Structure 1
Amino acid sequence: MDILDNLKMAVSALLANKLRSSLTMLGITIGNASVIGMVAIGQGAQKLAAEQFQALGPNVLFVSLTSARVRRTASAKAKPLLLEDAQAIARLVPTVAEVAPEIQANQLIAKGKQMFNSPIIGTTGEFLRVRNHQLVQGRFINEVDNKRMNRVVVLGPEISQRLFPEENPIGQQVRIKNISFEVIGILAPKGSLFDSNQDNKAIVPLTTALYQLTGRTSPHGIPVTLISILAKNQESVKGAEFQIKNLLHLLHPTTADDDILISSQNAILETADETNEGLTRMLAAIASVSLLVGGIGVMNIMLVSVTERTQEIGLRKALGATQKDILLQFLIEAVLLAILGGLIGVGVGVGGVTIASMVSSLATSISIPSIVISLSVSGGIGLFFGVFPAKRAAQLNPIIALRSS
């Protein structure tokens, strides 16, 4: 008997017990749908992280002091990260295109009776290009604003919407730490980067932030929280890291090698990708347990089927069917159950992921390899868990099988 005849007989046997076959496939269906969904969410998270880092700005480096160095700076009056360091990097490091020193703090920002806490960034005009921001209205902070310590502010779109929902914010006054600032510009929306909302911030001149908002002082110069740096191109990022670290060691002779933290966009993205990939594998592994449970269900049902069909098996053997024919028939039934359940599961998984991405902000990405692997695993599970019932059926003595009926 050829495979086609066995396939027809397997389909007939499955259709003869539609409810039982459907319930058997349910475990495989749930397993496949879970795997597709978990992998889609994980890969969507990776894609979202990559997009967010690209929006952060190309070839960006962030220079700061480690927490241990910050504690020593506060306690021993050691030299902090300074505005002069940023200026030296811009002047002496050839692989650097732009440098934007930053002073970061949280302050109360208010207009009328509206008041809330918001991140305040004191910086220079280079910040706009280094951080890859765009303006939708007005202008950005310039060198004159920093020289004169002007009380001007550029608002993120979220703050602008909260303070000025129905009016043009340009030229309006807001209060930061109970000091009036004129709104001169509005940033374009940029979204969130992990737990940091890029649209919820107010930007003021660095000197204004230093002397009028934070009051941070140092006998060594103007202290800054962070230095954002734009390398000239992708190829110069590694060279820029090396040159910046060497320069800072010259400017801060007492600084240990691990005190200076230089983070690149690529390094952060690689870390995020590794984390997301590990999480995706873990979720897929957990979801795969459903496939294993479904496979056990297939084996149980096939064992029941063998018991119920002993007369049929004995009759086929009496008519000349070999052990190989019987084995092949029951194997085909088991694999068919698993593959059909897998196909339905893929459909449910893809449909669920598509609907979820349409009705929510959930980031998802359908993975063709995960679909192929899921279906292959389903078929393999059907084959693996179908071997024992099929061998049991093939080894039945035809005389005993006919008498047992």
Structure 2
Amino acid sequence: MIRNILLSTLLSLKAHKLRVFLTMIGIIIGIAAVVTVSSLGEGMREETLSLINAADANAVKITYQSEDSSNEQMYSSESSDFTFSKADMKRLNRIPGVSSVTADFGDSYGMNSSVQSTYSNGDYFGSFFGTQLAAYQKDAPLEIGRNLLKTDEGNNVIVLSGDIVEALSYEMDVTAADLVGSAVNIDGYMFKVVGVKQPIVYDEFGNSAESADYTWNDMATSDVPQTAFTLLTAAKPINAIQLKVSDDTDRASVVSSAVSQLMENYPDVEGYFEEDTSNQQMIDEFNDYLSSMILFLMAITAISLLVGGIGVMNIMYVSVSERKREIGIRRAIGAKPRDIWLQFMLEAVIITFIGGFIGLSLGYGIAQIVSSVVGMPATLTTQTMLISTSVSVLTGLIFGIIPAINAAKINPIKAIYN
């Protein structure tokens, strides 16, 4: 019986191809819109999180927390009066699996843990500016001048970040060329400017245009030789210690060894040492925010599915009206009301399922086109495919049930007579 009903349903759909296609259009557009938004949103989230995680994949930040530390203090740069020493850094550097140890001065705003930097105040002929100062690690693309050299060790020379020119231009008429060769005051020490980095370029989404060779951190800092950086940070308190873990080393064991070592060094402290997870917490919050935003946009685009569902219901009503004689004849030769109901329900579900599949393919194709144009990755997840398919089938069930019930209630004698 089920086989006969399914065969009858397919034959009925085949006999009205144009009507079936027009019925599908609303579903196709609705599912395509949802899939497009979801694919682009998921792609953007995965790329953003991968960049964040890649930057700090092997980095461990050890901090001290007092017993009465609050949640707000965990996000601040100074959670207690305790400070680490250079001796602590040397001891932790001897832990197996630790490739490098750097000091965290609590003011490396926006920098990832692979960059040792500190916030410094500058003065150029009475015009003040702030800059994130870093010990020179590698060359950066310059607007003018040169990068630092090994022979610069021991000299007070500096390569300024490109945003300093913009900051100074609000107070005086100055260009990058004017700065090269001049002297600037950095935290009370005079430095000769030997180069100015290119300004950071942002795309239409507000993201910095990073490349495989240069990151935002490389461009946002002003670089000085290691000896000069040590001089400028000599009097600054060390609020945390950054550890770089080797690729083949268990991260958890390194953290455990570092915490145990510090507890042995400071047995009388009232607080405790731990890995700073505030960055991970912020990543989780950012991930939750993106997920909520994606769901919100999907909900808005899903409104078109309501329009598509109403279209399905309308066409099914028309189909019931046109096929009253067919329904009456089937009832007269023994078909039960539930058989009529099942056939019309199957028609609605098959129409929306096929429309959903076409919309899924179309939506992913549109997402790929947008991705290639704007450079934003598109990711179609299994969850999106399952949700899209389920929603399309559910649309057929919801909007097809009333016409199906009406078809099942038709009086066979009146239907044949009419």
Q: Quick check: TM above 0.5?
A: yes
- Counterpart residue type for residue 36 of structure 1: V
CA contact (8 A) 1:80 1:223 kept: yes
Q: Bigger shift: 40-49 or 173-182?
A: 173-182
Deviations 1:310-334 (A, max 9, x none): 3443245446655465334422331
CA contact (8 A) 2:40 2:371 kept: no
Among 271, 275, 278, which residue is 1:256 paired with?
Answer: 271
Deviations 1:268-290 (A, max 9, x none): 76776566556555655665565
Q: Tell me the secondary structure at the aligned position of residue 40 of structure 1.
A: helix
1:87 aligns with 2:90: yes
- Structure 1 residues 372 and 71 mapped into 2: Cα distance closer, same or farther (>3 Å)? closer
- Structure 1 residues 352 and 86 mapped into 2: Cα distance closer, same or farther (>3 Å)? same
Residue aligning to 1:191? 210
Among 196, 210, 228, which residue is 1:208 paired with?
Answer: 228
1:303 aligns with 2:342: no
CA contact (8 A) 1:118 1:200 kept: no
1:367 aligns with 2:381: yes
Q: Tell me the secondary structure at the aligned position of residue 132 of structure 2.
A: strand
Deviation at residue 191 of structure 1 after TM alignment: 3.0
The CA RMSD measured in Å over matched residues stands at 4.9
Deviations 1:102-127 (A, max 9, x none): 44444577999xx995642344x7xx
- Counterpart residue type for residue 99 of structure 2: A
Deviation at residue 399 of structure 1 after TM alignment: 1.0
Output the CA distance in 2 between the equivalents of 1:391 and 1:136. Answer: 71
Output the CA distance in 2 between the equivalents of 1:65 and 1:176. Answer: 33
Deviation at residue 141 of structure 1 after TM alignment: 8.2
Deviations 1:314-355 (A, max 9, x none): 245446655465334422331233124313422442233122
Q: Tell me the secondary structure at the aligned position of residue 220 of structure 2.
A: coil
Output the CA distance in 1 between the equivalents of 2:76 and 2:383. Answer: 49
Among 390, 395, 399, which residue is 2:404 paired with?
Answer: 390
Among 10, 19, 34, which residue is 2:13 paired with?
Answer: 10
Structure 1: 5+ residue stretches without partners: none
Output the CA distance in 1 between the equivalents of 2:353 and 2:38. Answer: 20
Residue aligning to 1:68? 73
Q: TM-score, normalised by structure 2?
A: 0.67
The aligned runs of 1:373-384 (5 Å cut-off) are 373-384=387-398
Residue aligning to 1:34? 33
Output the CA distance in 1 between the equivalents of 2:397 and 2:119. Answer: 61
Deviation at residue 265 of structure 1 after TM alignment: 8.3
Residue aligning to 2:157? 152
- Structure 1 residues 116 and 334 mapped into 2: Cα distance closer, same or farther (>3 Å)? farther
Output the CA distance in 2 between the equivalents of 1:285 and 1:377. Answer: 12
Q: Bigger shift: 356-365 or 236-245?
A: 356-365
- Counterpart residue type for residue 101 of structure 2: V
Q: Tell me the secondary structure at the aligned position of residue 100 of structure 1.
A: strand
Q: Bigger shift: 288-297 or 372-381?
A: 288-297
Structure 2: 5+ residue stretches without partners: 66-71, 108-117, 169-174, 201-207
Residue aligning to 2:345? 331
Deviations 1:24-81 (A, max 9, x none): 434423431233123313321342134313541541112346763898979x9x3324
Residue aligning to 1:352? 366
Output the CA distance in 2 between the equivalents of 1:86 and 1:6. Answer: 76
- Counterpart residue type for residue 61 of structure 2: F
- Counterpart residue type for residue 254 of structure 1: V
Q: Bigger shift: 96-105 or 199-208?
A: 199-208
Q: Tell me the secondary structure at the aligned position of residue 392 of structure 1.
A: helix
The count of corresponding residues between Structure 1 and Structure 2 is 374
The aligned runs of 1:246-325 (5 Å cut-off) are 246-251=260-265, 253-254=268-269, 256-257=271-272, 261-263=275-277, 276=290, 280=294, 284=298, 288=302, 290-291=304-305, 294-295=308-309, 297-318=311-332, 323=337
Q: Pick the structure with more helix per residue.
A: 1
- Structure 1 residues 72 and 397 mapped into 2: Cα distance closer, same or farther (>3 Å)? closer
1:48 aligns with 2:47: yes
Output the CA distance in 2 between the equivalents of 1:256 and 1:190. Answer: 42
Identity within the alignment, %: 27
Output the CA distance in 2 between the equivalents of 1:185 and 1:234. Answer: 38
Output the CA distance in 1 between the equivalents of 2:354 and 2:75. Answer: 61
Q: TM-score, normalised by structure 1?
A: 0.69
CA contact (8 A) 1:299 1:386 kept: yes
- Counterpart residue type for residue 208 of structure 1: A
CA contact (8 A) 1:11 1:333 kept: no
Residue aligning to 2:133? 121
